[in-house]
Amino acid sequence: MSPLRESVFRLLLWCFLGTQCVLGMELPTVAVVIDRYLESQGGANALNDLRSLKVVGEITIESQGLEFEVSQQVVAPDKSFTEQDFPGLGLIREVLNGERGWEWHPITGERPLEAHEIEDKTQETDLQRDLRLFELYETIELGEPEVIEGIETTQLVFTDFKGKTEQWFFKANGDLLQKIHTVSSGPDSVFESTDRFYDFQEIGRFRYPSRIKFINPSYVAELKITSCDINLEIDPAVFELPVLILE
Amino acid sequence: MIKISKNALQNGVFLRQMFRKFKLNVHKLVLGVTLVSLQLVPLEGYLSRGEAFEQSFDIVWTTVQESYWDSSFGGLDWMAIREQYRPKVAKAKNRRELSILLQSMLNELELSHFNIVSSSSQSLDKFPRGGYSGITLKYVDGQAYVVRIAPDSAAAEAGIAVGWRLKSIHRRSVKRLVTPFRRSVLPEKRKQFHIDMYLNEVIQGGVNKRLRSDWYPPQKRALKTYMVPRYDARELSGSVGLVPSQRIEYEECYDENDVLYIRFNFFVPSLMDTIRESIIGARGRARGIIIDLRSNVGGLAIMASGITGLLVDEKTTLGKLFLRNGYISYQGYPQRERYSGPVAILIDSGSVSTSEMLAAGLQEAGRVRVFGQTSLGESLPSLFKRLPSGDLFQFAVGDYLTPEGFRIEKQGVIPDQLIAPSKEDLEAGVDVTLQQAKSWILNGENILDESA
pLDDT tier for residue B119 given thresholds of 50, 70 and 90 = low
From B233, B268, B291, the end of a domain falls on B233
Tell me which H or E stretch contains B78.
Answer: helix B78-85
- Based on DSSP, count helices (H) and strands (E) in chain B, helices before strands: 13, 21
- Taking the C-alpha atoms of residue A76 and residue B15, their distance in angstroms, rounded to an integer, is 15
For residues B424 and B282, membership in a common domain is answered with yes
Domain hosting residue B60, numbered range:
42-120
Enumerate the domain spans of chain A: 51-246
Region of B225 (left: φ > 0; alpha: ψ -120 to 50; beta: rest) is beta
Average pLDDT over every residue of B230-244: 68
Pair B325, B265 in one domain: yes
Which pLDDT value is given to residue B117?
78
Nearest-CA distance A92 → chain B (Å) = 10
Residue A186 pLDDT level (bands cut at 50, 70, 90): confident
B257 and B336, same domain (yes or no): yes
Nearest CA in chain A to B383: A64
Report d(CA B182, CA B175) in Å as an integer: 10
Sequence-distant (6+) residues with CB within 8 A of B445 are none
Instruction: For residue B396, give the 3-state DSSP assignment.
Output: strand
Residue B400 lies in a domain: no
Is B340 contained in some domain?
yes
Task: Mean pLDDT check: name the lowest of A1-10, A190-199, B266-275.
Answer: A1-10
pLDDT for the residue A3? 41
pLDDT in tens, A108-134: 999 999 998 898 888 888 888 888 999
- CA atoms within 13 A of residue B168's CA, in its CB half-sphere: 9
Do B320 and B442 lie in a common domain?
Answer: yes
Beta-carbon-side half-sphere exposure of residue A174 (alpha carbons within 13 Å): 10
Beta strand segments in B387-430, E: 392-396, 399-401, 417-418
Assign B383 to helix, strand or coil: strand
Residue B31 lies in a domain: no
d(CA B394, CA B298): 15
Which band of pLDDT confidence, cut at 50, 70 and 90, is reported for residue A193?
Answer: confident
Alpha carbon of A24: minimum distance to chain B alpha carbons (Å): 32
Distance between first and last Cα of chain A: 50
| Residue B16 belongs to a domain | no
Predicted confidence at residue B124, as pLDDT, reads 66
Separation between Cα atoms, residue B390 and residue B409, nearest integer Å: 28
Domain count of chain B? 3
User: Which of A40, A58, A64 is most worth mutating to test chain B (most B CB atoms within 10 A of its CB)?
Assistant: A64
What is the domain-level CATH number for residue B76?
3.30.750.44
Q: Answer yes or no: do B106 and B144 share one domain.
A: no
DSSP string spanning A141-169? EE---EEETTEEEEEEEEE-TTS-EEEEE
Residue range A51-246, CATH number: 2.50.20.10
Helix, strand or coil for residue A134? Answer: helix
pLDDT at B126: 80
Q: Mark yes or no for CB contact A120/B21 under 8 Å.
A: yes
Q: Which residue has the higher pLDDT, B21 or A79?
A: A79
- Enumerate residues 6+ apart whose C-beta is below 8 A from B341: B282, B286, B287, B288, B289, B448, B449, B451, B452
B261 shares its domain with B362: yes
Same domain, B256 and B333: yes
Best probe of the A interface among B26, B330, B354, by most A CBs < 10 A, is B26
B6 located within any domain:
no
For B373, list phi and psi in degrees, rounded to 5. -105, 160
Stronger pLDDT, B56 or B231, i.e. the higher one: B56
Residue range B131-135: mean pLDDT, rounded:
90
- CA distances to B154, B199, B226 from B205, rounded to whole Å, are 10, 10, 11
B11 contacts A42 by C-beta, under 8 angstroms: yes
pLDDT in tens, B346-386: 999 899 989 999 999 999 999 999 999 999 998 888 888 88
Alpha-carbon span A163 to B444, nearest angstrom: 53
Average pLDDT over residues B216-231: 87
**How far apart, in whole angstroms, are the C-alpha atoms of residue A240 and residue B21?**
19
For residue B310, give how far its alpha carbon lies from the nearest alpha carbon of chain A (Å).
9
Sequence-distant (≥ 6) Cβ neighbours of residue A64 within 8 angstroms: A219, B30, B33, B241, B242, B383, B384
Cis status, amide bond into B218, omega within 30 of 0: no
Instruction: Judge if B70 and B156 occupy the same domain.
Output: no
B286 and B352 share a domain?
Answer: yes
Partner residue facing B328 (CB), from A105, A189, A230: A189
* Residue B221 lies inside a defined structural domain of this protein: yes
Residues B76 and B180 in one domain: no
Residues B356 and B439 both lie in one domain: yes
Neighbours of B12 (CB within 10 A): 23
CA-atom Rg of chain B in angstroms: 23
pLDDT of residue B340: 95
**pLDDT of B246 over the 80 cut:** no
Whether pLDDT at B101 is above 70? yes
Nearest to A210 among B9, B276, B397 (CB): B9
Residue B195 falls within a domain, yes or no?
yes
Poorest-confidence range of A20-34, A85-99, B410-424? A20-34
Coil vs helix vs strand at B211: strand
Say yes or no: B294 and B443 in one domain.
yes
pLDDT band at B11 (very low <50, low <70, confident <90, very high): very low
| E strand intervals along B268-415 | 288-292, 298-299, 316-323, 326-332, 343-347, 369-372, 382-386, 392-396, 399-401
| Residues of chain B found within 8 Å of residue A191, distances taken between Cβ atoms | 23-24, 27, 326, 328
Residue B127 to residue B132: CA distance in whole angstroms: 13
Of the segments A58-72, A209-223, B196-210, B427-441, which one has the largest average pLDDT value?
B427-441
Answer for the pair B155, B227: CB distance below 8 angstroms, yes or no.
yes
Q: Are B124 and B149 in contact (CB under 8 A)?
A: no
Confidence of residue B405 (pLDDT cuts 50, 70, 90): very high
Q: What is the ipTM of this complex?
A: 0.82
Q: In A, which residues are within 8 Å of B305 by CB distance?
A: 107-108
Sheet-wide strand order for B250-254? B250-254, B259-264, B288-292, B343-347, B369-372, B417-418
- B232 band by pLDDT with thresholds 50, 70 and 90: low
From the list B4, B24, B385, the residue facing A203 with the nearest CB is B4
B269 and A204 within 8 Å at the Cβ level: the answer is no
pLDDT band at B22 (very low <50, low <70, confident <90, very high): low
Phi and psi at residue A20, in whole multiples of 5°? -135, 155
For residue B147, the model assigns a pLDDT of 92
Residues in chain B: 452
Residue spans of beta strands (DSSP E) within chain A: 19-22, 25-28, 52-61, 66-75, 79-86, 90-97, 101-105, 109-112, 139-142, 146-148, 151-159, 165-171, 177-186, 189-203, 206-215, 220-230
- Residue B130 is predicted with a pLDDT of 80
Q: Evaluate whether residue B383 is within a structural domain.
A: no
Q: Lowest mean pLDDT: which of A37-51, A80-94, B99-113?
A: A37-51
Residues B203 and B221: their CA atoms lie apart, in Å, by 21
Q: CB–CB of A88 and B328 under 8 A?
A: no
- Comparing A170-179, B17-26, B304-313, B408-417, the range with the smallest average pLDDT is B17-26
CATH number for position B168: 2.30.42.10
Report in angstroms the alpha-carbon separations of B69 from A25, A150, A165, B324.
38, 29, 22, 4
